[in-house]
Amino acid sequence: MPGNSFGHTFRLTTFGESHGPALGGVIDGCPAGIDINLEFVQKELSRRRPGQSKIVTQRKEDDEVEFLSGIFEGKTTGAPIGFTILNKDQKSKDYDHLKDVFRPSHGDYTYQAKYGHRDYRGGGRYSARETVSRVVGGAIAKLLIAKEKIKIYGYVTQVGNIKLDKCHMDMDLSTIDDTPIRCPDKEIAEKMIARIEEVRKAGDTIGGVVTGIITGMPVGLGEPVFDKLNADLAKAMMSIPAAKGFDCGWGFEGLGMLGSEFNDEFYNDKGNIRTKTNYSGGVQAGISNGEDIYFQVVFKPVSTIMKKQMTVNSKGEEVEVAGKGRHDPCVLPRAVPIVEAMAALVIADHLLRNQV
């Protein structure tokens, strides 16, 4: 079965290619009566759009969403919510030289091998441009879960070997968007931006980590056995282009700890059961425990670089290739709203499943 849909009760199906006329989607299962702030939805898209700073791709897209159905007089009707986003600044000629060439670490070869035919213009369906539809779906999901006072934050905590080592509770998360890199620590953010600039000028790319925080979580979201909350978050994050790793709570960081150190001890906080350390990241046995959920997503360096590399063409001949056009030297700043959107889709889906 095609994998163009995500979610069970709250379900997003997307369509469109990087250099096609438009992208879009359909949200099914959204309850009636949700107030839709169109300004908020557009702001979320602006956080993801290209051309917003010098450390991202300079493709210029307004990314204006047009809703076709499911919203009337500012509220959802319960009907499927259809929407489109037009592509306006495609430069397909930048990809003419790739028609018969398989770029290193891209989906060119695998798509060609699987389907026998591919859209080589910017990667087509496997381009990160596809994520614009996810951000629309995630914005609607954020508005839904806001009714339960659940909030989602994403921010950059690592670029290459430059790392932010601070707990989210020790930072002002309202300042995430104050810097182009979307790191709430100004001093670390400046170092990250300088590193990306250095890499960009060298014609190369760099990866890093986006951390996600979900606050206001109720107890009990998550479905055993294969639809655990952390499992669905993992699938959501690993479906994002360039994502290569995921952990929830102290996953990899807890490898050197003993069980006696790692276990979250419960205590009674004025009638509320809480945990002292929250190494579990807010999820135990696949079900939310009421603490903040926190997770990390590792993103690889962008595969398109401006340096010459060896590869093969469709005839199996070894050829030389180099990137052309407009590309991100680092995906992290624009990945933040995508991480948030995918987390919102997961929480909205499980929230509604919990009400059935």
Q: What is the pLDDT of residues 7-61, one digit of tens each?
A: 999 999 999 988 888 999 999 999 999 999 999 999 999 999 876 667 776 666 6
What's the pTM? 0.94
Cα–Cα distance list, 274 to 58, 107, 219, 303 (Å): 46, 45, 11, 43
39-72: string of b/e by CB count within 10 Å (b at 16+)?
eebbebbebbbbebeebbbebebebebebeebbe
CA distance 248 to 296: 7
State the alpha helices, DSSP H only, in the chain: 38-48, 108-115, 131-146, 186-201, 229-238, 259-262, 332-355
Number of domains in the chain: 1
Of 140, 138, 135, 177, give the one whose Cα is nearest residue 155: 177
Residues 209 and 298 sit within 8 Å (Cβ to Cβ): yes
Least confident of 33-42, 103-112, 161-170: 103-112
Of 296, 192, 157, 297, give the one whose Cα is nearest residue 241: 297
Phi, psi (deg, nearest 5) at residue 258: -90, 160
Q: Domain containing 270 — which CATH number?
A: 3.60.150.10
How do residues 260-314 score in pLDDT, each as one tens digit? 999 999 999 999 899 999 999 999 999 999 999 999 999 999 988 888 889 888 8
CA distance 17 to 130: 6
Q: What angle do CA 171, 243, 194 make, to 5 degrees?
A: 55
What is the domain extent for residue 229? Answer: 5-355
Cα–Cα distance list, 330 to 29, 49, 53, 349 (Å): 35, 14, 12, 30
Residue 277 confidence (pLDDT): 92
CA distance 169 to 191: 22
Count of CB atoms situated within 10 Å of the CB of 322 = 13
